[in-house]
Amino acid sequence: MFLKKLIKNGAVTVHYYENGSLQTCKGRVYNLNLHEQTLSLKDEKQNILFINLSGIEDIY
């Protein structure tokens, strides 16, 4: 339930694992797909990044 609230809050920073290494992305929540278990972020350059929910380490 707390992930749905992120959509309304605006800019977030996400620490997540991709291919075994820790990555960081800052941006706004673009989409939350609970069926596919992905979080989409749009960064400052308007690029859309898809992150698996299972790989997320921290969100703030």
pTM: 0.82
Q: Where are the alpha helices (DSSP H) in 1-60?
A: 2-9
> Using the 8-state DSSP alphabet, how is residue 53 labeled?
G
Extents of the domains making up the chain = 1-28
CA–CA separation, 36 vs 47, rounded Å?
20
The model's pLDDT over 2-56, given as tens digits with 9 standing for 90+, comes to 666 666 667 899 999 999 999 999 999 888 898 999 999 999 899 999 999 999 9
> Using the 8-state DSSP alphabet, how is residue 1 labeled?
-
Q: How far is CA 59 from CA 18, 33, 47, 48, 52, in A?
A: 15, 17, 19, 17, 13
Query: 40: which strand partners?
Result: 31, 50
